């Protein structure tokens, strides 16, 4: 009787020990998986600007296809919310920062973010343009045309504030500035040019519109656009946490650089494919010599992590 009791007790003890060991191993495995997944996720903020869509989808593709990331989320927000998100840590990076255009947002979040060196290796421009067939070259001449509108973009863009506050009063322009989302504005520009309408619109480079359309950036003799008449830098802002929490993604974004020709080519490939990620993949396949150094830098960091 006593022997049977000890045998039962022994079996219970071994069962308990086995359960505890399994539980510890399972917990350790879950913790390791959670830690690994946490390091394998990144959130990139984007706008609906073509250069933002292009570079963000390119980064997403490289992180997933080349560096083994399980989750790369592209989160579309307005500009103000993007900078707030990077500052709070809800968004890891935003890759379409234009300086000095976005300096106000950077200054507000400067203690929580890091501004990387510009990834765009070309000369930028932003201003008011007209189709070439209108045969004018400066803003004061707009009133001599049949144009009634300046087709604009989102209200949070710096130039969207400058046009009604500075440009229209300075030149006593009779045109109304109409705000659209960037994709809607580009569709409208294409439609109006096809109809040979007289109108003005916000234009910028790098962008595929400069290759597709015959357009003229209008001179601003009174410097009504102020600092926007100068060239801009296009760069990436990341949260202060990223170098430590995700050094691989951080290294890739620091290494990535593109010329104007490369940006325009990437955007045009996306347009042809009709899908940003598919377009980025096609572009990468045709431009391995450009992307391999970025991937190698990120892989070296990955091996050290």
**DSSP for 90-158, written as a single string:** SSSEEEEEEETTTHHHHHHHTTTEEEPPPSB-S--EEEEEEEGGG---BGGGGGGSS--EEEE--TTSH
Mean pLDDT, residues 152-162: 90
* Listed residue (46, 110, 116) closest to 76, CA to CA: 46
| pLDDT (tens digit per residue) in 237-246 | 999 999 999 9
Find, among 216, 272, 230, 257, the residue nearest to 122 by Cα.
257
Distance CA 81, CA 85 (A): 6
What domains lie within the chain, and their CATH numbers?
41-122+232-304 (3.40.190.10), 125-229 (3.40.190.100)
Half-sphere exposure of 201 (CA within 13 A, CB side): 30
* Residue 164 to residue 154: CA distance in whole angstroms: 13
| pLDDT tens, position by position, 94-129 | 999 998 889 999 999 989 999 999 999 988 989 999
Percent of the chain, pLDDT > 90?
A: 75
């Amino acid at each position: 009787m006593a022997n049977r009791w000890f045998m039962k007790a022994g079996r219970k003890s071994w069962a308990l020990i086995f359960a505890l060991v399994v539980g510890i191993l399972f917990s350790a495995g879950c913790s390791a998986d959670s830690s690994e997944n946490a390091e394998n996720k990144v959130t990139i903020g984007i706008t609906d600007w073509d250069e933002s869509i292009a570079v963000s989808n390119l980064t997403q593709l490289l992180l997933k296809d080349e560096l083994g990331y399980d989750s790369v989320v592209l989160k579309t927000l307005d500009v103000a919310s993007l900078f707030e998100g990077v500052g709070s840590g809800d968004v890891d990076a935003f890759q379409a920062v234009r300086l000095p255009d976005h300096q106000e947002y950077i200054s507000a979040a400067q203690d929580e973010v890091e501004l990387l060196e510009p990834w765009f290796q070309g000369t930028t421009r932003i201003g008011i343009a007209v189709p070439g067939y209108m045969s004018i070259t400066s803003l004061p001449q707009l009133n001599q045309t049949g144009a009634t509108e300046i087709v604009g973009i989102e209200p949070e863009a710096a130039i969207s504030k400058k046009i009604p506050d500075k440009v229209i009063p300075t030149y006593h322009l009779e045109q109304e500035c109409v705000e659209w989302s960037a994709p809607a504005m580009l569709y409208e520009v294409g439609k109006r040019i096809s109809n040979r309408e007289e109108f003005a619109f916000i234009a910028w480079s790098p962008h595929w519109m400069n290759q597709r359309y015959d357009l003229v950036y209008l001179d601003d003799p009174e410097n009504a656009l102020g600092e926007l008449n100068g060239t801009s830098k296009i760069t990436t802002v990341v949260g202060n946490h990223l170098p430590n929490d995700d050094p691989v993604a951080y290294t890739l974004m620091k290494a990535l650089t593109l010329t104007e020709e490369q940006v325009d080519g990437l955007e045009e490939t996306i347009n042809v494919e009709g899908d940003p990620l598919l377009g980025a993949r096609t572009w990468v396949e045709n431009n391995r010599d450009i992307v391999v150094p970025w991937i190698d830098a990120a892989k070296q960091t990955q091996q050290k992590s």
